[in-house]
Amino acid sequence: MKTEETSIEGVIVHDLVSHIDDRGSFTEIYRETWLTGFKSVQWNIVTSKEDTLRGVHVHKDHYDYLMVLSGKMLLGLHDIRRDSPTIGTSQFLDLSAENRRTVSIPPGVCHGFYFPQAATHLYSVSTYFDPADDLGCKFDCPELNLSWPTKDPILSDRDRTADNYSQMLDKFYADANA
């Protein structure tokens, strides 16, 4: 299993190792020791139709740890952490069943998932589901500096009516500014 840094501090990519034999394959997908700083407390499976975009979301308190089981995902990332050396940095990562890699996303790194083809992804979180820790902004906010390959994807009502970038920042830093 190879671990590599990305352009955004704390976003870690793990290339998984699949053991192939005559029956099929065996791949370890998670070890607590792999992930510095957090452990998974809840796992989710998500299926998405082609041209779906989930996000852009950001969390104050929890990490996301994800991998694609089938299909393809374009993962868009953007750092809004004031104390990060990579604040303001954006990056796209391609995830697919073929490239067998996982990504851990720390609090304060915005993320959006675009599916150019139907996909299933598996992801875990470091704290239990809490809608109050689910901030975000419209996927096409120019401040994200993420040029998605779609202008009109399938969105949830929540994502379609999401905040703008400055509203997201205000909410993200509300406690810090209090």
Ligand X SMILES: Cc1cn([C@H]2C[C@H](O)[C@@H](COP(=O)(O)OP(=O)(O)O[C@H]3O[C@H](C)C(=O)[C@H](O)[C@H]3O)O2)c(=O)[nH]c1=O
Kindly list the catalytic residues: 57, 123
Applying CB under 6 A, which of residues 25, 129, 142, 164 lies at the interface with ligand X?
129
Q: Which residues contact 127 (CB under 8 A, 6 or more apart)?
A: 41, 61, 62, 133
- 127 or 167: whose CB is closer to ligand X? 127
Angle at 125 between CA 63 and CA 80, to 5 degrees: 25
> What are the phi and psi torsion angles at 103 (to 5°)?
-130, 130
Question: 3-state DSSP call for residue 21?
Answer: strand
Q: How far is the CB of 51 from ligand X (least distance, A)?
A: 15
Residues 60/127, Cβ–Cβ less than 8 Å: no
Question: Which of residues 12, 53, 57, 126 is near ligand X by CB under 6 A?
Answer: 57
Under the binding rule (CB under 6 A), the answer on residue 134 touching ligand X is: yes
Near ligand X by CB under 6 A: residue from 156, 160, 166, 174: 156
Site for ligand X (CB under 6 A): which residue of 1, 46, 118, 122? Answer: 46
> Between residues 81 and 111, which has the closer beta carbon with respect to ligand X?
111
Checking DSSP bridges between strand 135-136 and strand 42-48, what pairing results, if any? unpaired
Q: Cis omega (within 30 of 0) on the bond before 11?
A: no
* Residue 44 interacting with ligand X (CB under 6 A): yes
- What are the residues binding ligand X (CB under 6 A)? 44, 46, 54, 57, 64, 111, 123, 129, 134, 156, 158
